[in-house]
Structure 1
Amino acid sequence: MVLKIEPLVAALAAIQEAYPNSCLILLSPQGKTFTQSDVPRLLNQAPNLQISIGDFITMGGEIPALAITDALVRAIPGAIQPESYQQETFQNSQLDFATYTRPEVFEGLKVPSVLLSGNHKEINE
């Protein structure tokens, strides 16, 4: 898609005038790859910056913008339960936490009995 520059510049200028403390984020393949460690900085009014969500192409900027918005909103106090945020993948330096569901046995692999108990204290241990 080719966009005319004048309306874009005028729109950005109007936004920055109306919200002088706002952060302008340009989603661009040339930008620094967005990571979970960027979330606190962006929530605290980072300066204007250029961000990439990875080395791939999407149909437009909506999905990358939504992904970044989702990551930011999750970090806002009250958006999700504090326990959920503290148990997030990136809080514990792990790729992902073990997740189990039914059936209890699949292809000879059994869900640990402690997980079936539902006792969160024992599960955390």
Structure 2
Amino acid sequence: MSSLTEILLIIVVTTLTLTLTIIGVQLFLILRDVRERIIKLDPILDNVVVEQEHLNEILVSAKDSSKRINETTSYLSDEVIHPIGNILSAVKGISQLIEPFRARRQTRRDSLEEDYDEDERI
């Protein structure tokens, strides 16, 4: 019986040894493949970093341009458009003040023309 147990034990140990050896070889091949892929991936990641920095510069430039446009429109609004609006309001106010005098003058002119027409008829 002892020899049967020893034979079974040798078979089990041999099977486990072969299995672990095969697993070890496969693990070695997998790790080597991972290393090769990382080496190939390194230049790609370097390019990604360079492109990201370039994109960052573009975004900063766009932000600065947007800020300048905002400042320009604010300046135009405060320094050009509002004063023109104030001038137009003043002109409109003066026009409204003059309107009664203009209407009175037109009425006089109309009455003078009527008097002149009557004098010509006579």
Pair in the same fold by TM > 0.5? no
Q: Which has the larger radius of gyration?
A: 2
Judging by fraction of residues, say which structure has more strand.
1
TM-score (norm 1): 0.17
TM-score (norm 2): 0.17
Larger RCO of the pair (alpha carbons < 8 Å, separation 6+):
1
Judging by fraction of residues, say which structure has more helix.
2
